[in-house]
């Protein structure tokens, strides 16, 4: 009996040692971090903010690559089809994970089955901003302008199916206005067009427009989420400005291909959590009026599944104009 016990303990210790060695072995080469948008947008900002700290934490270079197009699904497909070894990752927005599947009928991958959630990195509120040439100073004034000239105002977005697009369609429906949607390949080119007065309005991620608002290059009318922002305390929410119940935001999370080994997922999860605690990273995120998260992979997976159903219901109500 004693011999069997000793053997069992020996097997158990060997198993622990094997897991530890497997985890210690990762990573052995540089890691690709795909961003599903053009340089300069919110996803790109976040990826490039944490990648140097991730590189230090993991002991290997984390190289950011921009792969824009099709609401982030091009990058999503590349990661979903990659080897599940932790060397190709995706910094995805909720656009390509829980929104796109309900807009595009024939996605080449299943976001819930072909990607493994690692951690929710950051939560980002959106904000209704206008070019200074637009005379409206409040949400109600903008609604009045839009109603007076139906179909003449255009709003830009980071792409079809992006939160900035859906927010505009929701605003049309809930505020009773009619605007023309102009999609761009990411928030950065859309903001550039807004600054150039090529489009008058956008429901933009705060990360992309906060400095421009503070420099009076853009005018903030309302926050798209339920609460006001500490960085812009005088800007009301759209919900409190005459469009009750209006609440939509963005998040960015790290994903790996499905079937990536659990120890690799755990290693990445810890590395991101550590990166978000870095004073330089947390200060930069706070400056952009966003919230770092770094939750468990299980908690992030639960959020993804919950929001997938919520957006499925929401997009049915908004209608076919999103397709």
Residue 22: per-residue pLDDT: 45
d(CA 92, CA 72): 7
Backbone angles phi, psi at 272, to 5 degrees: -70, -45
Same domain, 70 and 52: yes
Residue 322: per-residue pLDDT: 52
Same domain, 92 and 107: yes
Backbone angles phi, psi at 81, to 5 degrees: -90, 0
Strand partners, 91: 254
Q: Which domain holds residue 192?
A: 125-241
Residue 12 belongs to some domain of the structure: no
Residue 13: per-residue pLDDT: 45
pLDDT category of residue 56 using cuts at 50, 70 and 90: very high
Specify the residue for token string 């049915």.
Answer: 316
Bridge pairing between strands 115-130 and 154-157: unpaired
Same domain, 230 and 317: no
Residue 161 belongs to some domain of the structure: yes
Same domain, 119 and 262: yes
Mean pLDDT of 10-18: 47
Q: How many residues does the chain have?
A: 323
Angle (CA) 250-35-168 rounded to 5° is 35
Would you say 179 and 156 are in contact if contact means Cβ atoms under 8 Å apart? no
User: Tokens standing for 297?
Assistant: 């992979």
Mean pLDDT of 182-187: 88
Judged against a pLDDT cut of 50, whether residue 287 lies above it is answered with: yes
How many Cβ atoms sit within 10 Å of the Cβ of residue 233? Answer: 8
The Cα-based distances of 224 to 209, 246, 280 in angstroms read 14, 7, 27
Maximum mean pLDDT: which of 13-27, 38-52, 243-257, 280-294: 243-257
Same domain, 134 and 207: yes
CATH number of the domain that residue 196 is part of: 3.40.190.10
d(CA 305, CA 265): 18
Same domain, 111 and 134: no
Q: What is the DSSP string of 93-109?
A: EHIIIIIGGGT-TT-SS
d(CA 161, CA 95): 6
Would you say 115 and 61 are in contact if contact means Cβ atoms under 8 Å apart? no
Same domain, 130 and 74: no
**CB-based burial label for 13 (10 Å; 0-12, 13-18, 19+):** exposed
Judged against a pLDDT cut of 90, whether residue 73 lies above it is answered with: no
Query: How many domains are there within the chain?
Result: 2
CATH number of the domain that residue 307 is part of: 3.40.190.150
Same domain, 282 and 315: yes
d(CA 278, CA 104): 38
Residue 5: per-residue pLDDT: 43
pLDDT category of residue 24 using cuts at 50, 70 and 90: low
pLDDT category of residue 298 using cuts at 50, 70 and 90: very high
User: Tokens standing for 266?
Assistant: 């755990």
Same domain, 89 and 138: no
Residue 4 belongs to some domain of the structure: no
Q: Which residue has the higher pLDDT, 192 or 242?
A: 192
The 10s digit of each residue's pLDDT in 148-181 is: 988 889 999 988 888 899 999 999 999 999 999 9
Residue 205 belongs to some domain of the structure: yes
Same domain, 167 and 143: yes
What does the radius of gyration of the chain's CA atoms come to, in whole angstroms? 22
Mean pLDDT of 27-51: 91
d(CA 174, CA 314): 12
Domain finish residue from 241, 262, 292: 241
Domain finish residue from 193, 220, 241: 241
Residue 6: per-residue pLDDT: 43
Would you say 65 and 33 are in contact if contact means Cβ atoms under 8 Å apart? yes
H helical segments located in 90-162: 94, 139-148
Residue 192 belongs to some domain of the structure: yes
Same domain, 167 and 262: no
Residue 179: per-residue pLDDT: 96
Judged against a pLDDT cut of 50, whether residue 23 lies above it is answered with: no
Residue 2 belongs to some domain of the structure: no
Backbone region of residue 259 per phi and psi (left: phi > 0; alpha: psi in -120 to 50; beta: other values): left
H helical segments located in the chain: 2-25, 42-58, 73-80, 94, 139-148, 163-175, 187-195, 206-214, 262-277, 279-287, 297-318
Residue 320: per-residue pLDDT: 52
Same domain, 205 and 292: no
Residue 9 belongs to some domain of the structure: no
CB under 8 Å to 97, separation ≥6 — which residues?
A: 76, 111, 115, 253, 255, 304, 308
- pTM of the shown model: 0.78
pLDDT category of residue 20 using cuts at 50, 70 and 90: very low
Residue 79 belongs to some domain of the structure: yes
Distance of CA 13 to the CA centre of its chain: 41
User: Tokens standing for 125?
Assistant: 């509120």
Judged against a pLDDT cut of 70, whether residue 182 lies above it is answered with: yes
The 10s digit of each residue's pLDDT in 228-278 is: 988 899 999 999 998 999 988 889 999 999 999 999 999 999 999 999 999
The 10s digit of each residue's pLDDT in 74-121 is: 999 999 999 999 999 999 989 889 988 888 878 899 999 999 999 999
Domain finish residue from 191, 220, 241: 241
Average pLDDT, the chain: 89
Q: Which residue has the higher pLDDT, 1 or 57?
A: 57
């Amino acid at each position: 009996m004693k011999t069997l016990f000793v053997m069992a303990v020996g097997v158990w210790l060997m198993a622990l040692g094997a897991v530890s060695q497997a985890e210690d072995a990762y990573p052995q080469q540089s890691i690709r971090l795909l961003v599903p948008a053009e340089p300069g947008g919110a996803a790109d900002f976040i990826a490039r903010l944490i990648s140097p700290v991730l590189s230090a934490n993991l002991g290997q270079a984390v190289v950011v690559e921009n792969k824009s197009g099709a609401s982030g699904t091009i990058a999503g497909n590349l990661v979903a089809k990659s080897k599940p070894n932790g060397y190709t990752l995706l910094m995805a927005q909720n656009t390509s994970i829980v929104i796109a599947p309900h807009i595009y009928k024939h996605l080449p991958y299943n976001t819930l089955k072909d990607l493994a959630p690692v951690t929710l990195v950051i939560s980002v509120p959106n904000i209704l901003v206008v070019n200074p040439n637009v005379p409206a100073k409040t949400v109600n004034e903008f609604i009045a302008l839009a109603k007076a000239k139906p179909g003449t105002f255009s709003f830009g977005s980071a792409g079809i199916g992006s939160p900035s697009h859906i927010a505009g369609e929701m605003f049309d429906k809930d505020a009773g206005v009619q605007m023309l949607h102009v999609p761009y390949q990411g928030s950065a080119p859309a903001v550039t067009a807004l600054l150039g007065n090529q489009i008058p309005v956008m429901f933009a991620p705060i990360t992309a427009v906060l400095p421009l608002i503070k420099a009076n290059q853009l005018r903030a009318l309302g926050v798209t989420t339920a609460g006001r922002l500490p960085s812009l305390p005088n800007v009301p929410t759209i919900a409190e400005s005459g469009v009750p119940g209006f609440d939509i935001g963005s998040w960015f999370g790290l994903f790996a291909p499905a079937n990536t080994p659990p120890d690799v997922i755990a290693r990445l999860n810890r590395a991101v959590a550590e990166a978000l605690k870095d004073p330089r990273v947390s200060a930069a995120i706070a400056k952009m009026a966003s919230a770092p998260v770094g939750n468990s992979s299980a908690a992030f997976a639960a959020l993804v599944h919950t929001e997938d159903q919520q957006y499925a219901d929401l997009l049915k109500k908004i209608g076919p104009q999103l397709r």
